[in-house]
Amino acid sequence: MKTEETTAAGSTITRRRFIATAGSLGIVITAGSFVPKFLMAKDGEEIAIDPQQITAWVKLDKDGRLTIYNPAAEMGQGSMTALAVIIAEELDADWKLVHIENAPVIPETYGMQWSGKLGGPMITAGSRTIRGYYSNLRQAGAQARYILMYNAAQKWGVPISSLKTEPGEVVNRDNNKRMTFGEIVAFAKIPDAIPQIAEKDMKRPENFRLIGKVLPRFDVPLKVDGSAQFGMDIQVPGMVYGAITRSPVFGSTPTLLNENEVRETEGLVDIVPLDHGIGVVANTFEQALKAKRKLQIKWSDGAKAEKFDSEMVYADYHNMVHDDSLKGKELLNTGDAANAIKSAHKTYDWEYRNDFLYHARMEPMNAVVSVAADGKTAEAWAGTQAPDADQSAIAEVLKIDPSKVMFHNCYLGGGFGGRQVEFSAEAAVLSNKVRRPVKLVWTREDDLQYGSYRPISLQRMQAGVDQKGNLLGWRHYIAGPDQRLQGGAVPMAYYKIPNQYVELRLTDHGVRTVYWRSVSHGPNKFAQEAFLDEIAFDQKIDPYQYRRRMMLELPRHLTILDKVATMCNWTTAPAKGRARGIACSDYGGSYTAGVVEISLDRQSGKIRVHHVWAAFDAGVVIQPDNAIAQMEGGIVMGISSVLNESITFKNGKVQQSNFHDYPILRMADAPESIEISQIPSSAPPTSMGELSLPLMGGAIANAFLKLTGKPLRHMPFTGEKVLAVLEG
Amino acid sequence: MKTSFKLNGKQVQVETAPDATLLWTLRDTLQMTGTKFGCGVSLCGACTVHLDGMAVRACVTSISMVAGRSVTTIEGLAEKELHPLQEAWIEEQVPQCGYCQSGQIMQAAALLQANPRPNREQIVSHMNGVLCRCGTYVRIVKAIESAASKSEKQ
Ligand code: FES
Ligand code: FES
């Protein structure tokens, strides 16, 4: 069995050692919040690294090949390539010679920037990867470049100031002599002191060669020939397969009623009871599934979720947001909203609802864990958003130190929030019991019914306006479970609105909830934007102009809004039977505005989104085509969730089970075109992955209002609900 | 039970349970993991392969059905160079997470086999059974259109 002392699959770096590629010389160049240190290794030599002090980001070989270590999970967002581009830009690398490897799981060194320093958790979430690593990785690249120039200067006996770099080469400005980076590696020495490179000595955005240019993603070729390794694809010699039946009502505990019968299943290796389910391990996955199907389990009574009915709960929420004796958590309070509304010329007071949502990542949860015969070490493979947390969870199951768990992060077949830990911990329990490598696979039904969902919520929106329809006061009450997931997305930095008050009234139903792409932005931006549109509609003001009025003093935002209005030809009416809706949103320091064009089948109530336009400002964009892909993906997932998706609970049990009753958007219902425009900027990069999705709820509701004169206030806007609204 | 069939042009024989599916036989017995598991019940298309040139869902294809027939997976779609669709997929930078893309490409390849110059509606109706959660549909259509127009020019 492999242990921590061997290398990660195909990797030249581990928690403890850096291994130079055989037959060449490598330099590990380090950076981060610590005093930089540099290491060299010759011909396959292995050298110890001290994870407390060393942050290895790149390795340069004699043939010029540059390996860049990727600290983030690659789940489709493309940051694996973008992070490498940031280093390569400042290093002035020849992109053709760049190769990307996953960094080992060492949060102390590769962890996300957390309160200003690297070394936080290795979590890929909240669209923080690029903004969180940008300045440190530029520094790493700039210092690596310094070392190369320093060595070339020594060799030629010239001052370093007489040198410059061109892609992959150091060039002497005076005589145009050149040396490739690979040639330098052959004699390179690490200078005694490596200066911290000041911002003014780094490349200016207008001189970027790689950042902001269209470079193909590193992982794409592996994803068109089937060779990319997802957690699901890992094969380990001697591996057996696990499956688990988990609590249908979260919190209930199992008693297996027919152990003997299940043990007779062909190929069965073992039955493993867990707190939240019964696991079976068998020689093949299909045998494990057969054993799983045979399980007869009695579930304990008394779980908190047992009586929960998600369709009934809206009535409670309605009461909660109208009960003046309640006081929840204040999320925003500027001016005096209550009085401003009371004394307004006209007031509005509406409710918006959002059902639970499921992630529906195409790759169901899974993990391979191999616990050593003595139980003292383990090796594990999974696609996770937080490999260090998975590593710790496995260690906790085995009661060993996390450093004894060699964890390999794999490509993730979708992340979208909260894909981490529990599958790894479960696989560790199974493997620990059978002391063989176990591949645990969740079936689609397992994944859907034991999901952790975007929580249900109800939003009560109140506003008061003056005679011209200008907002004087704004109140927003949110009711639902899980503060982490409900309390964001409240400020609207892109609108000037006086007197705002926002309050969260929490509930708890004992069901599982977790981050879901864009988190609170999905429901809260829907409520804000749909409500604004209804006010504009009532005031007979064009919804674009209405938003514009609130942006007049905010030029950055106005640029985005005007851009999208131009892109879609807002002032020209769409074809008959079509209507457009507009919405604004933000995420993690980025801003966007979008327009959808819809039609409606009045027989079935089905809404069809034909075209989408969006403009965004996310600061410097590292990989523009990939940023566009993220906008497109968020739009499609947004439309899917807004039109079709709903998880409902009855007696604490999820009522849906697979894609027939949890339909995610198919190609026939995807927009015919999505047009994205990036507003150029030299500000530091901000978030991309969750920016566009929150536009869809508002924009679609607003287009529907325009088309029919009726508001949609409950997501998803299924045919059934739409028909009810049309009749109502 | 022993079953013989052609896999990506080579004769193979596998020993499985009689009710084994092609999907898990490919993935676990033959260690060909390019074909993905997404739903297990023919709802998502992630497991799409070709059986005698037709796109089928491997998760609901029993191993007995493939005896003596020819199966092509993403690993065997192209021999030396990439298939024009794979090239177009790279050109358009279609994949995000990539998990659905083997199924997408295999489904598209069966279409072009039967209809080298499909129009947009034909593409959409043929591809509709293959889900993509990352939302790459717009690029998939572009990639198929571009592969089709390129092969027509040649
Ligand atoms: S896994 Fe076969 S169609 Fe989903
Ligand atoms: S690329 Fe992720 S599911 Fe299609």
Overall average pLDDT of the B24-53 stretch: 98
The verdict on residue A86 lying in a domain is: yes
Ligand 2 atom closest to A362 (CA): 3
Question: Average pLDDT of A617-625?
Answer: 95
Domain shared by A704 and A581, yes or no: yes
Q: Compute the distance from residue A362 Cα to the ligand 2 centre, in Å.
A: 7
Best mutation target, A74, A75, A215, A224, to test chain B (most B CBs within 10 A)? A224
| Partner residues linked to A460 by β-bridges | A351, A477
- CB-based contact B134:A76 (threshold 8 Å): yes
Residue A431 lies in a domain: yes
Does A429 share its domain with A544?
no
A611 shares its domain with A539: yes
Of A70-74, A263-267, B20-24, B145-149, the range with the lowest mean pLDDT is: A70-74
Question: Which residues in chain A are contacts of B78 at CB distance < 8 A?
Answer: 225
Residue A396 lies in a domain: yes
Q: What share of chain A is helix, strand, coil (3-state, %, to 5)?
A: 30, 25, 45
**Given this model, what pLDDT does residue A36 score?**
40
Assess whether A424 and A481 both reside in one domain.
no
User: Rounded to an integer, what distance in angstroms lies between the CA atom of residue A32 and that of residue A143?
Assistant: 11
Task: List the CATH number of the domain containing A207.
Answer: 3.30.365.10
Q: Which pLDDT score, from 0 to 100, does residue B28 have?
A: 95
Contact assessment for residue A635 and residue A694, using Cβ atoms and an 8 Å cutoff = no
List of chain B residues whose C-beta atoms are within 8 Å of the C-beta of residue A414: 97, 99, 133-134
Instruction: Judge: A216–B17 Cβ closer than 8 Å, yes or no.
Output: no
Which of A226, A284, A285 lies nearest to residue B34, judging by beta carbons?
A: A226
Task: Look up residue A411 and give its DSSP letter.
Answer: B
d(CA A367, CA A306): 29
A238 close to B (CB below 8 A): no
pLDDT at residue A20 greater than cutoff 70: no
Residue B132: CB within 6 Å of ligand 2? yes
What is the Å distance from ligand 1's center to A643 Cα?
23
Domain contains A697: yes
Determine, for residues A629 and B127 on separate chains, whether the beta-carbon distance falls below 8 Å.
Answer: no
Which residue among A76, A241, A670 places its CB closest to the CB of B138?
Answer: A670
Ligand 1 centroid from CA A273, angstroms: 29
pLDDT tens track for A656-678: 999 999 999 999 999 999 999 99
Percentage above 90 pLDDT, chain B: 95
Q: Would you call A668 and B135 a contact, using CB atoms and an 8 Å cutoff?
A: no
Q: How many A/B residue pairs have CB atoms within 8 Å?
A: 177
Q: From ligand 1's centre to the CA of B103, what distance in Å?
A: 9
pLDDT digits (tens, 9 = 90+) for A89-145: 999 999 999 999 888 887 877 787 776 667 778 888 888 888 888 888 888 888 889
- The reported pLDDT for the residue numbered A13 is 55
Say if residue A32's pLDDT is above 50.
no
Among B27, B44, B51, B101, which is best to mutate for testing ligand 1, by the most ligand atoms less than 8 A from CB?
B44
Mean pLDDT confidence for A697-717: 98
DSSP B25: I
- Please tell me if the CB atom of residue A76 comes closer than 6 angstroms to any atom of ligand 2: yes
The verdict on A289 and A321 lying in the same domain is: no
A634 and A664 in a common domain: yes
Cβ atoms A77, A126 nearer than 8 A: no
Mutation site for A-interface testing, chosen from B14, B89, B136, B138 by largest number of A Cβ within 10 Å: B138
Q: Which amino acid is at A523?
A: P
Q: Please, which pLDDT band fits residue A54 given cuts at 50, 70 and 90?
A: very low
Co-location of A22 and A156 in the same domain:
yes
Q: How far does residue A89's CA lie from ligand 2's centre (Å)?
A: 29
Is residue A50 classed as helix, strand or coil in its secondary structure? coil
Predicted local confidence at residue A53, as pLDDT: 36
Same domain for A172 and A92:
yes
- Whole domain around residue A710: which residue ranges? 313-357+453-727
pLDDT of the residue at A125: 84
Give the torsion sign (CA, B121, B100, B130, A447): negative
Q: What are chain B's domains? A: 2-76 (3.10.20.30), 84-153 (1.10.150.120)
Q: What confidence tens digit (pLDDT) does each residue in A132-178 have?
A: 888 888 888 888 898 889 999 999 999 999 999 999 999 999 999 99
Counting ligands in written order, which one lies closest to the CA of residue A658? 1
- Specify if A569 maps to a domain: yes
Q: Going along chain B, which residue ranges are E strands? A: 2-7, 10-15, 48-51, 54-57, 70-72
Q: How many CB atoms lie within 10 A of CB A492?
A: 21
User: Please, are residues A122 and A69 in contact by the beta-carbon 8 Å criterion?
Assistant: no
Domain-ending residue, one of A383, A411, A441: A441
Per the structure block, which two tokens stand in for A551? Answer: 């942006």
Give the integer Cα–Cα distance in Å for A681 and A594: 19
Query: Please, are residues B69 and B6 in contact by the beta-carbon 8 Å criterion?
Result: yes
Contact A285 B24 (CB under 8 A): yes
Question: Is residue A231 pLDDT above 50, yes or no?
Answer: yes
Indicate the angle between helix axes B101-114 and B120-127, nearest 10 degrees: 130
Q: How confident is the model at residue B121 (pLDDT cuts 50, 70, 90)?
A: very high
A268-274 β-sheet, strand order = A268-274, A277-282, A240-246, A438-441, A366-371, A378-382, A405-409
pLDDT of residue A9: 38
At A484-509, the pLDDT tens digits run: 999 999 999 999 999 999 999 999 99
pLDDT over 70 percentage in chain A: 92
Query: What value does the mean pLDDT take over residues A48-52?
Result: 45
The answer, yes or no, to whether any atom of ligand 2 lies below 6 A from the CB of B105, is no
Q: How confident is the model at residue A46 (pLDDT cuts 50, 70, 90)?
A: low
Q: Are A18 and A12 a contacting pair, CB within 8 Å? A: yes
Average pLDDT on B47-56 reads: 98
- A656 lies in the same domain as A554: yes
pLDDT at A160: 95
Instruction: Compute the distance from residue A223 Cα to the ligand 2 centre, in Å.
Output: 10
In a domain, A436, yes or no: yes
Q: Per the domain annotation, does A446 fall within a domain?
A: no
Q: A4 falls in which pLDDT band (50, 70, 90)?
A: very low
Q: Exposed, middle or buried by CB within 10 Å (0-12, 13-18, 19+), for A298?
A: exposed
Which residues does ligand 1 sit against, CB inside 6 Å? B 37-40, 42-47, 57, 59
Chain B partners within 8 Å of A242 (Cβ) = none
- Alpha helices (runs of H) in A157-257, residue ranges in sequence order: 181-185
Domain count within chain A: 3
A residues 59-88 lying closer than 8 A (beta carbon) to B: 75-78
Q: Does A219 touch chain B (CB under 8 A)?
A: yes
List the single residue in B37, B94, B97 with the smallest CB-CB distance to A75: B97
Taking CB atoms and an 8 Å limit, are B98 and A666 in contact across chains?
no
Q: Is any ligand 2 atom within 6 A of the Cβ of residue B97? A: yes
What CA–CA distance (Å, rounded) separates A645 from A664?
7
Residues A419 and A483 in one domain: no
Cα of B46 from ligand 2 centre, angstroms: 10
Does the predicted interface ipTM exceed a cut of 0.95? yes
Residue A381 CA to ligand 2 center (angstroms) comes to 20
pLDDT of residue A35: 37
**Mean of the per-residue pLDDT values of chain A:** 91
Q: Atom 4 (ligand 2): residue with closest C-alpha?
A: B132
Report the predicted TM-score, pTM, of the whole model to 2 decimal places. Answer: 0.94
Chain A residues whose beta carbon lies within 8 Å of the beta carbon of residue B17: 266, 284, 286-287
pLDDT recorded at residue A104: 81
Region of poorest pLDDT, from A45-49, A103-107, A187-191, A649-653? A45-49
Mean predicted confidence (pLDDT) in A265-271: 98
User: For A584-604, what is the mean pLDDT?
Assistant: 97
The predicted pLDDT at position A57 comes to 76
Total number of residues shown for chain B: 154
The pLDDT of residue A48 is 54
Report the pLDDT value the prediction gives residue A220, as an integer from 0 to 100.
97
For residue B129, what pLDDT is reported? 98
Res A21 pLDDT > 80? no
Local structure of A246: helix, strand or coil: strand
- A233·B140 Cβ contact <8 A: no
Which chain B residues are Cβ-neighbours of A72 within 8 angstroms?
Answer: none
pLDDT band at A45 (very low <50, low <70, confident <90, very high): low
Across the interface, do A637 and B134 touch by the CB < 8 Å criterion? yes
Test site for ligand 1: of B21, B22, B47, B99, most ligand atoms within 8 A of the Cβ: B47
**Domain end marker among A186, A213, A240:** A213
Q: What per-residue confidence (pLDDT) applies to A130?
A: 87
CB B59 near ligand 2, within 6 Å: no
> Do A418 and A236 form a contact (C-beta atoms < 8 A)?
no
- Do A251 and A181 fall into the same domain? no
Q: Is A257 exposed, middle or buried (0-12, 13-18, 19+ CB in 10 A)?
A: exposed
Of A420, A441, A462, the last residue of a domain is A441
Domain assignment present for residue A5? The answer is no
pLDDT at res. A1: 32
Q: Looking at the structure, do residues A82 and A141 belong to the same domain, yes or no?
A: yes
